[in-house]
Each structure stands twice: as structure tokens, then as C-alpha cells.
Amino acid sequence: MDTLISALRAALGDDAVIEGARLAERARSFWDARPLRGRALLLPRDTAAVSAALRLCHEARQPVVPLGGGTNIANATASGANDILISLERLRGIGPVDLAQQTVTVEAGALLESVQNQATEAGLKVPVDLGARGSCTIGGMIACNAGGNQVLRYGMTRDMVLGLEAVLADGTVLSGLTPYLKNNTGYDLKQWFVGSEGTLGIVTRAVLRLYPAPRSRHTALLAIDDFAAIAPLLLRLRARLGGLLTSFEGMWQSFYQLNSGEHATTAPIFDTAPAWSVLVEIEGQDAETDGALFEQVLAEAWEAGGLADAVISGSEADRLAMWAIREGCEAEAKLYTRTDQFDISLAMDAMLPCTEAIRTTLAEQAPDSDLHVFGHLGDGNLHLLVGHRREEIDSARVKQLVYGQVAKWHGSVSAEHGIGLDKKAYLPLSRGAAEIAAMRAIKRALDPHGILNPGKIFDL
């Protein structure tokens, strides 16, 4: 008889403890359809049940993996046969939206898309948006400090969390569900949990900051021949558009060709593929005045030189076609047997030399692999897609090559996807020994037996 499982059944109810074949019916993650591994999967109904489960696991020194939608891109929910998984899928409560404060209090298992829908009904907007919106949870977004396409204007998940409730490894509930923008009352404990990838506590509820829903949206795709023109263009748009600029997304030539070529679902927008394309989007409250300002500012940018071509979207279909080139992933699936993906931050003046060095070395060491660069250019965040035509290319070698260059150019090995298991070996390239020691000290203070998501981000 398994005493811990019996105690968990007694505390949470039989239907909240899933084992054996029923556990293995579930997929490991959004990306990995193989059967989930674990000693048990717990489905607590509320914060008290999360607390009871963690108290028992803490006493039994039982490793626990918190689970949201499983959409993370860092292997941060990987579990072994002896782990207990805690999914927040029964904690999906939302709201009501507080119009006076422009906030909403949500349970951590709520899907981003559900929160977005509720905010929209109230005339408001959730400031962080991701392609995974239909599957990712608010708790998972907080634990990963997710970014997305509008960070330039609204910030990352960190910036939308005003208050937070989390359960520590020993079952202690830290409740700080305040709706205040300003709250300088000692350490900002909620921020310790943002980006902690489930290693410091389980987030159960959060107060999110909302913004007025936009009434107008204008989008353009700009072609650029000289990389040096990009930084002044970004500065001009930010200065002249008076805070309306929401996205400044970049595509290197080969990525544009990949996603508008024969294997893609979208047709090219320019006659010849530009060296760099930038997708620019603004959101505002007045379609007429915003549209006129957008056109005027783009005309000024044209006059100033630096733009090789520019197309302003005339309809929602045009806009979606532009975004489809930036977000499409059908071509890579058709062309490559396997891909390695990277999510790095670099200073604007390091982007070109760093990516060129990676391209040159890759061409020498892996001539059957292609490098495609794209991403949240305005945030200094590039995504690198390395597509392999042959299965046998060693991913470890590709990672060494990419991260070696990122370190040389003083970049970050993870801009928004987190460390998880995938980037653990490379954390010291972006964070100093003293910083990692401080992270370990915080981990030991909040989770003395190291039960929460062990082995993720760093080893103890």
C-alpha cells in the first residue's frame, strides 16, 4: 500500500488522484505526444487542496512537477516515473472584471484565451498575447514570464501581474492578491514566482492588469536593405507614434523566403525577398486619426531613406497574410527532418555580426542545415530556427555553436522561453556565479527539500 498516495486520496478525494493507465493516456506536453510519466497526477480543486497536496509531498520528500497547458518551449514540465504532477486544470475561475481598477482576478489554470474573451466583453484587453493562447494557462505564463508579440508596448507577463497567490513547497499559502500598481511594502514577493518555472511555489491565483481594448489597428510590412537603418527606424516610430506602436517584428531574408515560398501557405508580399522585413503594427482608439498618423510617419521614414519598399495592409485579410509570414511554421515542417530552435536576446548592434558568425560556422560544420532568423526585433529578442535535412546532425554541437556566439556578443541564452532542462547547461553563459548562487539560496529558503520541479533551471 502506497501511504503517500493514500494520504493524497484522503485529502483531495479519489477523483483528484490519477494513476497508472489513466495517467499514461495523457500526452507529455503540447509538443510531445508520448504517454505522460509519473507516480500520480493530482487535480486539486482549490488553493486549500494544492496546499494539502504540497504539505504531504514535502513531508514525504516527494518530487512534484507543476503542470499548466504543457506548451512551454524549454522542456520545463519533463517528469520521470517517480514524480507527482500537479495540474491546475480544475482552477479555471475568472473574474469578474473590475472596471474601476481595470483588473481581473483569475485562477492559475485559466486559459489565456478565456481571460482574453472575458476582458474583451468588458471592453478591455489582456496585454500579453501568444500563439499558444488556446492552450496555455495564466499560471504557466507567470511561471515562464511569457512574452509574445506586444512586449514593446505592454511589457512581459511580469508587468501584468499586480497581485499573486502561491503555495510554497511545505503547503504555506502566500496570499498577496492586491490590485495596486504601486505597493512598496518590502520585498516584492510575487516577482520571485514570475519566471521561476515552478521551482519556488505553485501559483494558484493572480490579479492581472488590463488595458482599454483597441478600437483601431494598422499594420505594415517594410522592406530594408541595410541593417543599420533598423535602429533609427524603430526610434522614429516610437517617438512619432506617441506610444501606439505595439509590434516591431523582424524577418531575415531566408526566413521570409521560407514562409512565403513554395512550401508555405502564404504568398510573398514583395516582388523580391528583402534582406530584412519588418512587420510594424499600431493599436489605438480612433481608426481615422491613427491611420492618418501611421501613413504620415511611414512616409517620413521613407523620405528619410532606409526603406526599400513598404506595404500598408488595406484589410484584415492583408494584415493576417503579413502575420502568416511572420508566424507560419508549415514550410519548416515540410522541408526539414528536424529543427533546433533558439530564443536569444542581443543588443541591436550585435545582431548582425552574431547571426552572421553563426551562419558561417553552421555552413562549415553542417552544410545540410539552414539558419533562419526572425523574432521580436523591437524587444532585442531573436528566434533562430536551424533546420536539418539530415537526421544525424548533433543538436549538442549546434547548441554549442549558437550559444558560444551569443556569449561572445554578451547576449542572453533565453529571452522569453525560459531555461527548463533544455538550456540548463548554458545558464552560466548569461548569469554570473554569484547570481546563480543567489538563485540557489532563494530556492533552498523556499523549498528546503528541493521537491518543486527538481533539476529545472539549475541543479542544487
Ligand X SMILES: Cc1cc2nc3c(=O)[nH]c(=O)nc-3n(C[C@H](O)[C@H](O)[C@H](O)COP(=O)(O)OP(=O)(O)OC[C@H]3O[C@@H](n4cnc5c(N)ncnc54)[C@H](O)[C@@H]3O)c2cc1C
* Residues within the interface to ligand X (CB under 6 A): 30, 65-73, 76-77, 88, 108, 130-132, 136-137, 139-141, 143-144, 146-148, 197-198, 202-203, 416-417, 453, 456
Taking the C-alpha atoms of residue 405 and residue 300, their distance in angstroms, rounded to an integer, is 36
CB of 454 to ligand X, least distance (A): 11
Taking the C-alpha atoms of residue 43 and residue 62, their distance in angstroms, rounded to an integer, is 16
DSSP lists the bridge partners of residue 74 as: none
Which phi and psi (to 5°) does residue 3 adopt?
Answer: -65, -40
Cα→Cα distances 174→362, 453, 459, Å: 48, 19, 25
CB of 305 to ligand X, least distance (A): 32
CB of 376 to ligand X, least distance (A): 8
CB of 101 to ligand X, least distance (A): 23
Q: Which residue, 38 or 148, has its beta carbon nearer to ligand X?
A: 148
Q: Which residue, 72 or 290, has its beta carbon nearer to ligand X?
A: 72
Amino acid at 65: V
Q: Which residue, 71 or 259, has its beta carbon nearer to ligand X?
A: 71
Closest to 196 measured CA to CA, from 392, 457, 402, 372? 457
Q: Which residue, 8 or 151, has its beta carbon nearer to ligand X?
A: 151
Closest to 279 measured CA to CA, from 217, 235, 341, 326? 326
Grid coordinates given for 37: 510519466
Name the closest residue to ligand X (Cβ): 140
Angle of the 3-12 helix axis to the 47-59 helix axis, nearest 10 = 160
Check if the beta carbon of residue 224 is closer than 8 Å to that of residue 245: no
Grid coordinates given for 242: 506617441
Taking the C-alpha atoms of residue 186 and residue 222, their distance in angstroms, rounded to an integer, is 46
Report CA dihedral (402, 407, 411, 412) to the nearest 10 degrees: 80
Ramachandran bin of 363, using left for φ above 0, alpha for ψ from -120 to 50, beta for the remaining angles = alpha
Q: Which residue, 67 or 298, has its beta carbon nearer to ligand X?
A: 67
CB of 361 to ligand X, least distance (A): 27
Cβ atoms < 10 Å from Cβ of 288: 8
CB of 38 to ligand X, least distance (A): 13
CB of 132 to ligand X, least distance (A): 3
Q: Which residue, 135 or 400, has its beta carbon nearer to ligand X?
A: 135
Grid coordinates given for 105: 482576478
CB of 357 to ligand X, least distance (A): 25
Cβ atoms < 10 Å from Cβ of 411: 23
CB of 407 to ligand X, least distance (A): 22
Contacts of 82 (CB under 8 A, 6+ apart): 38, 39, 63
Q: Which residue, 109 or 306, has its beta carbon nearer to ligand X?
A: 109
Q: Which residue, 70 or 411, has its beta carbon nearer to ligand X?
A: 70
Q: Which residue, 254 or 414, has its beta carbon nearer to ligand X?
A: 414
